[in-house]
Amino acid sequence: MVEERHRPQSAVQQQQQQTLSTMFTAVLVGIVLGGLIYFLVQRNKNQVLKVEDGWWGAGAPPDGEEDDTIRPFKVNTSDEELEDLHRRIDQTRPVAALEDSQFHYGFNSQYLEKVISYWRNDFNWKSQVDKLNQFPHFKTTIEGIDIHYLHVKPKKVPQGKTAIPLIMVHGWPGSFYEFYRLIPLLTEPSNPDDLVFEVVCPSIPGYGFSEAPHKKGFNTVSAANIFVKLMKRLGFQQFYAQGGDWGSLITTNMAQLEPQTVKGLHVNFAPIAKPSIQMILSMMFGRYFPNLFGFNDMDVKGVFPCKEKMLVNVLKESGYMHIQATKPDTVGRGLNDSPVGLATYILEKFSTWTKGEFRNLEDGGLTRKFSLDDLLTNVMIYWVSECIIPSMRFYKENLGKGLNPPHTKIPVVVPTGIACFPDELVYTPELWAKKKFHNIVSFSHMARGGHFAAMEEPQLMAEDIQKFTKIVEKK
C-alpha cells in the first residue's frame, strides 16, 4: 500500500481560506449587529408610556364604580357676578408707566387704562356667554374630578364620508375658547374635497370649567390618561389629537400612552426637552455648515443667531415659568382677587408670545391679531372659574421634578404632523424634531403666526390639519 503524503497548501489556497474566513466573520458580525440593531429598534418602537390610574378628587376614592354619566353643561353668569367684577375694577389703583417703556417692562400701564375702560364700560360678558354656548358643552367625572369639554359634531357629513374624531387641547394662559374660530372650519369645511371632523375640546383639569385636582402630582401624563379615557368614553376607539403649548405635550403623551389608539398627532409647538449630541453640534456648527446637518434656509433663520434667538429672548419671556414652577400659590392669590391684575398677567402673553417685536409697541400689538372681546373672554373664563392658581400649579407639577421626566425618553411612533409658525417662542428644526417624533409625515413652515396659532390663524391651522390628516388617511 502506498502511503499518502500531505502536500503543503499553496499560497493561493491559503489566501482563499483566509478570504472565506474573513467573509464568514464579516457575515457573522453583520448578523449579530443587524440582530442587535433590529432588537434595539423594535424595543424602541414598542416602548410605550406607562401610567397608573389616579384619584384626583377630594378625600379617598369611593368603594364602588365611578359615575361615568355624561352631563350637559352651560356657561352661566349673573348680575351679582358682574357687579362684583365691576366693583373690583373700579377699586383698581392706577400706576404711571415709565416714559418710552412700551411693553419692555411688562404690560404698559398707560395702555392698560384703555383696556380696563373698555372692559368696564363696553365689554358685554352676557353676549360672550351666549357665544360660548353656541357649541355643546358637557361634563363627566374621570378619576374623581369633573372634566369639562366641548363636543362639536358636523351638521352634515357628505355621502360616502365619515366624520373623523379629533381632540384639540389648549395650553396656558389659553383655554378651550382658543379653538372657537377653528372648529367650524373643521366641522363644516367649505371645500367639498376636505375631510369632515368631529371635534372634542376639553379644558385641562384646573383650567376653565374642568375641576382642579385636589392632590399633588397631576402632570401632563395624568391629563393625557384622563383625555384618552374621555375619548373612549365618547365611543372613539381611534382618533386624532392636536395641541399647542401644554396641549402639545399632553397630546404627545396620549400618543406615547396608546399609539394604537391615537391614529395621528398634530402639534404646533414641539420643543425638545432632552438635547442630543447631534442637536448640540448642529447648534455649534450648523450656521457655518448647514448642509452637513440637513438645515434649510428656514432652519438657519429660525435657530441663529443662537445667543439672541434661543437664549436672550427665552430669558425675557420665561420669568413667569420660574415663579409658577416653584411658588405658584403666592402670586396666584393676588391674581385670583384682582381682575385687573389677572388681565395684565394673561394679556401680556398674548402680546409678546404672538410676536416678539410687539414689545416695542405702546399697545403691545394686542389688537393687531386679536379683538379685545376675544382676549377679555379668555380672561373672563379664568376669572369666573377662579382657575388661575390651579392653572399655574400645572407648571410646578411638570417642572418641579426636573426637565427630563420619563416620557422624554420615549419616542413618538404614531404619524405626526408639525406646524412650525414663524413667531413661535422656540423654533424646532425638523432635524431636532425627528429625535423625538420618529414618524413625521408632515412638517410645515407656516406663512405667519405665533404661539396662539389656533386663535390667531385658524384658517392656516385648519389647512395644515387637513393636509396632515389626508396624508395619514391615504396611508
> What sections of 68-132 are H helices per DSSP?
79-90, 109-121, 125-132
Q: What is the DSSP letter of 437?
A: B
Q: Is 38 a catalytic residue?
A: no
Phi-psi region of 405 (alpha: psi -120 to 50; beta: other; left: phi over 0): beta
CA distance 471 to 475: 7
Are 377 and 324 in contact by the 8 Å Cβ rule? The answer is no
* Sequence letter at residue 148: H
Q: If 0-12 CB within 10 Å is exposed, 13-18 middle and 19+ buried, where does residue 160 land? A: exposed
Are 437 and 415 in contact by the 8 Å Cβ rule? The answer is no
Are 377 and 132 in contact by the 8 Å Cβ rule? The answer is yes
Q: Is 451 a catalytic residue?
A: yes
Three-state secondary structure call for residue 420: strand
Cell numbers representing residue 428 in the block: 424646532
Per-residue b or e along 51-84, where b marks 16 or more CB atoms closer than 10 Å to that residue's CB: beebbbbeeeeeeeeeeeeeeebebebeeeeeee
Residue with cell 420615549: 410
Residues linked to residue 199 through DSSP beta bridges, in sequence order: 152, 166
**Number of helices (H), then strands (E), in the chain:** 20, 9
Cell numbers representing residue 423 in the block: 413667531
Give the active site residue among 245, 299, 374, 423.
245
Give the active site residue among 395, 407, 427, 464.
395
The separation between the first and the last C-alpha atoms of the chain, rounded to the nearest angstrom, is 76
> What sections of 218-296 are H helices per DSSP?
220-233, 246-257, 277-285
Backbone angles phi, psi at 147, to 5 degrees: -105, 125
Three-state secondary structure call for residue 190: coil
CA distance 147 to 141: 6
Residue with cell 481560506: 17
> What sections of 204-245 are H helices per DSSP?
220-233
Q: Is 245 a catalytic residue?
A: yes
Q: Kindly list the catalytic residues.
A: 245, 395, 451
